[in-house]
Amino acid sequence: MAAHDSSATVAPQTVGDRTWPVGTALLLATLIAGVLDLGYAIVVSAFRGYAPMLICQSVASGLLGKATYEGGLATAALGVALHFSMMAVIVVTYYLLSRRLTQLVRQPFLWGPLYGVVVFCVMNYVVVPLSAIGHTFQRTPLLFIGEMFSHVVFVGLTIAWFVSRARQAGTSA
């Protein structure tokens, strides 16, 4: 009779136990945070009477300015591509920071929301004013709170959680 091998790996019991290769974790973080962030903007804007295409075009307006609104589906698609490209940069930035500041992966539920606040501030008070738009947007207090919540939960927390689940090369699942 063979001895029981106690070194055999056990499959993760929950999603919270699961790890992914770094590339997979970063891709998932980009896609999920990107969909949640853009989805939030589309839903909230729909309640305010704005069509989804207009929201996607508004992302492209950072590159094209007001001409984006004359570009139809093409500039809306450009806006979606730009949105996910920026989200990928935001995800990779957190990942690279986490390689030096390991508490970012050890405490994702603390650092992720804080990263979401940083992302919100950088995007709204640095990137947008320096873009072809040239200014930040006026928001009601309710919209500000909603957008901040979106960045804290949908962007920062999502990114931090997926980065915390990234498995380094040479480690087992």
> What pLDDT digit, counting tens, does each position of 21-56 carry?
999 999 999 999 999 999 999 999 999 999 999 999
Ordered DSSP codes for 74-141: HHHHHHHHHHHHHHHHHHHHHHHHHHH-THHHH-HHHHHHHHHHHHHHHIIIIIHHHSSS-SPPP--H
Helix axes 52-64, 22-47, angle to 10 degrees: 110
pLDDT score for 167: 81
Q: What is the pLDDT of residues 107-148, one digit of tens each?
A: 999 999 999 999 999 999 999 999 998 777 788 999 999 999
Decide: 36 and 49 in contact? Cβ < 8 Å. Answer: no
pLDDT score for 172: 53
The answer to the question of residue 8 being in a domain is no
Distance CA 17, CA 81 (A): 31
The answer to the question of residue 5 being in a domain is no
pLDDT score for 36: 98
The answer to the question of residue 57 being in a domain is yes
The answer to the question of residue 50 being in a domain is yes
Range of the domain at 81: 20-166
Distance CA 88, CA 38 (A): 14
Distance CA 173, CA 171 (A): 7
The DSSP call for residue 168 is: P
Report how far Cα 73 is from the mean position of its chain's Cα atoms: 23
**Dihedral angle computed from the Cα positions of residues 123, 125, 131 and 135, in that order, rounded to the nearest 10 degrees:** 130
Please provide the size of the chain in residues.
173
Distance CA 156, CA 148 (A): 10
Q: What is the pLDDT of residues 72-93, one digit of tens each?
A: 999 999 999 999 999 999 999 9
> What pTM does this model have?
0.86
The answer to the question of residue 13 being in a domain is no
What is the count of structural domains for the chain? 1
Please report where in the chains the tokens 């804290």 appear, as a residue.
Answer: 152
